Structure 1
Amino acid sequence: MEGKSRLAERILDQVADAVVYTDCSGAIIRWNRASATLFGYSPEEALGQSLDLIIPEHLRASHWGGFNAAVTRGALKLQGRPTLTRAAHKSGRKLYVELTFAIVKSDNEKVLGSVAMARDVTERVERERAGRDQPPVPL
């Protein structure tokens, strides 16, 4: 049987959702295959970079305020509930992503960083918005 850490790496690389782990400064430490597919950056391009890589400029101030507060408190306001937000693809295309976050702690409760799981929901959101723009169908 494979070692636990190797198995964990295989799981992370084979899940369909993007998994992005950052240290407490917001530097990207883990970037799985789905992250590369979703955001367009290879691991070599993303690792060590700031999360600003995928955060649209107009959302950065609010993101960093929430990120820093969560890392300082060691807790999230969202408590694992999914949230819809915008993200940026390497090509410049804007995405809608559904994210869940967690604070990662050591055995002695020291905050090590944060992890986000993301999935692309751009098609769904655009379809819903297009449907709202349509006039009601007469009966």
Structure 2
Amino acid sequence: MAQAIDFEQLVTATGDAVVVSDANGAIVVWNPAAERIFGFTPEEAIGRSLDLITPERQRQRHWDGYAKTMRTGVTRYGADVLRVPALHKDGHTLSIAFTVGMLRGPDGVVTGIAAIIRDETKRWTDERQMRQRLAELEARVT
């Protein structure tokens, strides 16, 4: 017989950030990994807009896409990993990768979006440095 899953425990135990926002873009779930990655406590994040972690220059595009997703109930990012910059509480920029899932009420209407987020800042920085080094070495050969 299948055992019931404690989804709150699952979200809390997950090593990646779980951030859920409602139809208006207000944060309603913020797990310990989100606090570790972004620096905001649940008390600081829950109820706030996703602008909390969205860089200023990305906000218009983010909200245009968010509004379209809420209106249509469709996202093009459901199965794809999206890589974007994000903000840490102390103001430094992060490089994050995430997937999203649509949350729907019993009537099928979209009620929010769940994002599973990983901090890829170190990997992104390491890859950039490798590309620069490779370009330098290639320039020496030619």
Name the counterpart of 2:41: 42
Q: Which residue of 2 aligns with 1:57?
A: 56
- Distance in 2 (CA, whole Å) between partners of 1:79 and 1:119 is 16
- Taking the aligned partners of 2:15 and 2:71, their CA distance within structure 1 comes to 30
1:108 Cα deviation after fit: 2.2
Matched with 2:66 is 67
Q: Please report how far the alpha carbon of residue 41 of structure 1 lies from its aligned counterpart in structure 2 after TM superposition.
A: 0.3
Check the 8 A contact 1:19/1:116 in 2, yes or no: yes
**Corresponding position of 2:126:** 127
Amino acid aligned to 1:35: A
Q: Deviation string for 1:88-118 (max 9, x for gaps)?
A: 0001110000011111012321111111110
Q: Is residue 86 of structure 1 aligned with residue 81 of structure 2? A: no
> What's the counterpart of residue 14 of structure 2?
15
1:96-107 matches, within 5 Å, as: 96-107=95-106
Contact 1:16 1:34 in 2 (8 A): yes
The answer as to whether partners of 1:71 and 1:103 remain within 8 angstroms in 2 is no
Q: Which has the larger displacement, 70-79 or 128-137?
A: 128-137
Indicate the RMSD between aligned Cα atoms, in angstroms: 1.6
Note the residue ranges of structure 2 that are not aligned, 5 or more in a row: none
Task: Report runs of 4+ in structure 1 exceeding 4 Å deviation.
Answer: none
TM-score (norm 1): 0.92
SS in 1 for 2:100: strand
The CA distance in 1 between the partners of 2:78 and 2:99, in whole Å, is 9
Please tell me the residue identity of whatever aligns with 1:136: L
Aligned runs of 1:108-119 on 2, under 5 Å?
108-119=107-118
Aligned residues: 136
Is 1:24 aligned with 2:36?
Answer: no
Distance in 1, Cα, partners of 2:101 & 2:33: 18
User: What's the CA shift string for 1:46-90, capped at 9, x where partnerless?
Assistant: 010000000011100000011111111101012321011000000
CA distance in 2, matches of 1:84, 1:53: 17
Q: Alignment partner of 1:97: what SS?
A: strand
- Supply the distance in 1 between the matched residues of 2:29 and 2:78 (Cα, whole angstroms): 21
CA distance in 1, matches of 2:66, 2:79: 14
Partner of residue 137, structure 2: 136
